[in-house]
């Protein structure tokens, strides 16, 4: 069979719609996993043993169970509790929770990497514990963990393809439809593979630039 990409041209609009849905899901899940990750990282570095234990258990469970199983658990399990969410909301929720476990690890590492001298200086200056955390610790920790957070985000984009299994027609889901419409699965999935690779490559370059921009005044330490 001939390798012919022109058969994809009439379906580009449809694939683009799927890509937009993927982008929306990823953006929302990025926000969710970032907030969740920051909260959990706060809990895991806190002085309270109960909070630490709970946060560690959350990270442990959601890092060691396949995303597919978590997704099915939410997709089939939530309606049984009387919570009716559509596929998109369920997907974003599951992605956020799974992504939160990974990003909390990154942010935790950022918090633990802060020099004790900085925190002591804040204490000596009379800042309250909450102020020290929100104004000193978190900004530094988040700033230095931009790059590792970026690789968590790239993983999130790749993982979002699994949402096609719960009937969400994001990029992979719509490619599946195009493949069965055109009977040319090789071309469709090949283009999809390259598209994902280019997308994640572009995102990683963007994250590198953001990292440099945010850390421009301490480049020699973090570069």
Partner 1 sequence: MRYAEFTWFDLVLLAQGLGVTLGLFLATSLIGLLVGSAWAVIRFYRVPVLTQVVTFLAELLKNSPVLVQLFLIFFGVPAFFRINLTPVDAALITLSGNTAAFVYVIAVSAIESIGRDQVEAARVFGLSRWQVLRHVIAPQALAFSIGPLTGLLVNQLQVTSLISVIGVLDLAKIGNILNLRTLKPFIVWTAVGLLYYLAAKAIAYLGARAERRLRAHSAWKGL
Kindly list the residues in this chain that would bind partner 1 in the complex (CB under 8 A): 1, 3, 61, 64-70, 72-73, 76-77, 80, 154, 158-159, 161-162, 164-165, 172, 175-176, 179, 183-190, 192-194, 196-197, 200-201
Query: Which one, 60 or 120, has the nearer CB to partner 1?
Result: 60
To the nearest 10 degrees (0 to 180), the angle between helices 146-159 and 185-214 is 160
Query: Which one, 69 or 130, has the nearer CB to partner 1?
Result: 69
Query: Which one, 138 or 192, has the nearer CB to partner 1?
Result: 192
Query: Which one, 115 or 183, has the nearer CB to partner 1?
Result: 183
Least spacing, CB of residue 124 vs partner 1, in Å: 37
Query: Which one, 136 or 175, has the nearer CB to partner 1?
Result: 175
Query: Which one, 78 or 127, has the nearer CB to partner 1?
Result: 78
- Residue 210 exposed, middle or buried by CB count within 10 Å (0-12, 13-18, 19+): middle
Query: Do residues 211 and 150 lie in contact, with contact meaning Cβ atoms separated by under 8 Å?
Result: yes
Least spacing, CB of residue 93 vs partner 1, in Å: 15
Distance of alpha carbon 145 from alpha carbon 135, whole angstroms: 16
Least spacing, CB of residue 58 vs partner 1, in Å: 13
Least spacing, CB of residue 179 vs partner 1, in Å: 6
Least spacing, CB of residue 115 vs partner 1, in Å: 26
Distance of alpha carbon 200 from alpha carbon 159, whole angstroms: 12
Query: Do residues 18 and 171 lie in contact, with contact meaning Cβ atoms separated by under 8 Å?
Result: yes
Least spacing, CB of residue 214 vs partner 1, in Å: 24
Q: Is 48 helix (H, G, I), strand (E, B) or coil?
A: coil
Query: Do residues 15 and 178 lie in contact, with contact meaning Cβ atoms separated by under 8 Å?
Result: yes
**5 to each of 12, 18, 70, 189, 193, how far by Cα in Å?**
11, 19, 36, 11, 14
């Amino acid at each position: 069979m001939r390798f012919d990409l022109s058969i994809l041209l009439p379906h580009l609009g449809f694939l683009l719609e799927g890509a937009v849905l993927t982008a929306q899901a990823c953006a929302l899940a990025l926000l969710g996993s970032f907030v969740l990750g920051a909260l959990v990282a706060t809990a895991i570095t806190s002085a309270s043993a109960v909070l630490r234990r709970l946060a560690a258990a959350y990270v442990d469970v959601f890092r060691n169970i396949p995303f597919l199983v978590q997704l099915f658990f939410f997709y089939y399990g939530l309606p049984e509790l009387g919570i009716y969410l559509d596929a998109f909301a369920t997907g974003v929720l599951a992605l956020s929770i799974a992504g939160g476990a990974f990003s909390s690890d990154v942010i935790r590492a950022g918090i633990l990497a802060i020099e004790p001298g900085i925190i002591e200086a804040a204490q000596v200056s009379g800042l309250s514990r909450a102020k020290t955390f929100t104004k000193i610790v978190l900004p530094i920790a988040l700033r230095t963990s931009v790059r590792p957070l970026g690789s968590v985000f790239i993983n999130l984009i790749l993982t979002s393809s699994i949402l096609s299994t719960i009937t969400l027609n994001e990029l992979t889901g719509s490619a599946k439809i195009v493949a069965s419409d055109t009977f040319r699965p090789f071309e469709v999935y090949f283009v999809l593979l390259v598209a994902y690779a280019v997308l994640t490559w572009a995102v990683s370059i963007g994250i590198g630039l953001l990292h440099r921009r945010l850390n421009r005044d301490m480049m020699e330490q973090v570069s």
